[in-house]
Amino acid sequence: MSLEERLDDIERRLDHIEREWSDPEVASDPDRSRELGREQARLAPIVEDTRQLRAVRAQLETSRRERESEHDQELRDMARQIVAELEAEELAILERVRIALLPADPNDDRDVIVEIRAGAGGEEAALFAAQLFRMYVRYAERHKWGVELLTTSDTGIGGLREVIFQIRADGAWSRLKYEGGVHRVQRVPETESSGRIHTSTATVAVLPEADEVEVQIDEERDLRIDVKRASGPGGQSVNTTDSAVRITHLPTGLVVEIQDEKSQHKNKAKAMAVLRARLLELEQRKAHEEEAAVRRGMVGSGDRSEKIRTYNFPQDRLTDHRIGLDLHNLSSVMDGDLDRLIDTLITTDQARRLANLEEEGAA
């Protein structure tokens, strides 16, 4: 199918969506309305660009004729300049349209669950994990996204061995999916009297949230649920009820433990949300194994063992190793100013995916 045929199909689909919305049955169905709203939001910019492309091409045809038929040199030069500007506009619109037509990531509109764990480096790694947590919370606040803390394991002196939290926002996955992997920090710890630079790491996993209908779990057959008394730093009880919940998914061996809430019911609900997200990731990773060659051409694999970024405090520099990007002003980055970095990752990913599609089309 040619590009023009695909664009015609999209225009017809958008017209159909707008007609369907006038149906009272659809208007009274929140799930269907939400689904149509998301599809309309995705297709409307493509249709707008399609109509703009047609208008530019019509102007181009007229201006090219004028350029060839005009006898006055000054007017011919003017027509030549207009043609050049219109050709540049045509290319820019085509680039936007091609990017918009790239295969959609089915997870892009989902909420996410983010897991951060201290890696190599002892207490310094735990302090870095806490900084990363704050960085993502501040990023969410800048975008007015909702954040819910699911569970933490702290060191008692400001560090985090582990933190799991949820970010609720349309498009959260589309921007945060590039954050998964090993983050490395290089700096002089406050406790280091000799001024020697230490290297520590923290691992970030970003999981698309899964709906109950997507991940089927037979609680009686698939789960072992253990309940115990929640405990805080130093083993002190944080409440007097048996509220901590540990869920083991027997078919895969995945284990989730949540103890932050005083309600056993709330802890179980949070643990089930994390478990479903991990199971969805496992399913999708298996499904993508057959596309490994394509994924290698993209920005990062999302693998938790992949070193993606270094935060070098002595040099005030952040380096993203996947795209060779260096940014300065680390204090701003650690305060949640991540848009420039994430925008670059997105555009690089889009460029590589377009190149892969063109290679496949030429093959």
* Ranges of each domain in the chain: 3-100, 112-350
Q: Measure CA 134 to chain center.
A: 17
Pick the CATH number of 112-350 from 3.40.50.10860, 3.30.70.1660, 3.40.50.720, 3.40.120.10: 3.30.70.1660
**DSSP SS3 for 295:** helix
Confidence class for position 318, pLDDT limits 50, 70, 90 = very high
pLDDT for the residue 332: 96
pLDDT for the residue 355: 80
Q: How far apart, in whole angstroms, are the C-alpha atoms of residue 350 and residue 360?
A: 15
Please provide the DSSP assignment of 263-283 as one string. -HHHHHHHHHHHHHHHHHHHH
For range 119-147, the mean pLDDT: 95
pLDDT for the residue 240: 46
pLDDT for the residue 156: 85
Q: Which alpha helices (DSSP H) does the chain contain, by range?
A: 3-21, 24-27, 30-69, 73-100, 122-142, 172-176, 219-222, 264-288, 292-296, 330-334, 339-362
pLDDT digits (tens, 9 = 90+) for 156-194: 888 999 999 999 998 899 999 999 999 999 999 876 767
* Single-letter amino acid code for the residue at 273: A
pLDDT for the residue 232: 54
Mean pLDDT of the residues in the chain: 85
Q: Which residue has the higher pLDDT, 82 or 214?
A: 82
pLDDT digits (tens, 9 = 90+) for 3-41: 888 899 999 999 999 888 888 888 888 878 888 887 888
Helices (H) and strands (E) in the chain, counts: 11, 11
pLDDT for the residue 24: 86
Cβ partners under 8 Å of residue 339, min gap 6: 142
